Amino acid sequence: MISQPGPVELCIGAPEVFDRSYETATQWLNSVKFYLAGNEEVYNTDAKKIAFTLSYMTKGAALIWATTFRQRAFAETTTTMGTFASLSTQFKTSFKHHNVKSNAIAWLSTK
């Protein structure tokens, strides 16, 4: 029996390591989603998508956030990390830039 090779990961546009910057959080999450979309045959489950995402959260407050996320997942009797959509929502809530309106006004006033 001949085994078929598995899907090949396209290593293009991999996200940067995320350190907790509120200014770049949305851009970073979008780069993760873009990478995952380009590699949907490799990252074809929520668990794989979440593991990939957390693996790029290795500095500063992002590392603490990712560690806490993992600890909660493994504290259950049945390990579950939830869905990637849920992780995305939690991420956006945690790394939301609180001065979006002020920053937008400042940015517009310099143009």
Domain that holds residue 99: 25-109
Residue 30, CA atoms < 13 Å, CB-side half-sphere? 5
Report yes or no on 5 lying in a domain. no
Report yes or no on 100 lying in a domain. yes
Report yes or no on 8 lying in a domain. no
Report yes or no on 98 lying in a domain. yes
Which helix or strand (DSSP H or E) is residue 62 part of? Answer: helix 60-75
Report yes or no on 79 lying in a domain. yes
- Domain count for the chain, please give it: 1
Q: Please list, in sequence order, all residues whose beta carbon lies within 8 angstroms of the beta carbon of residue 29, skipping any fewer than 6 positions away.
A: 88, 91, 92
Task: Say what the pTM is.
Answer: 0.79
Report yes or no on 59 lying in a domain. yes
Chain segment 16-55, per-residue pLDDT in tens: 999 877 788 999 999 999 999 999 999 999 999 999 999 9
**Residue 66 token pair:** 């990712």
Report yes or no on 33 lying in a domain. yes
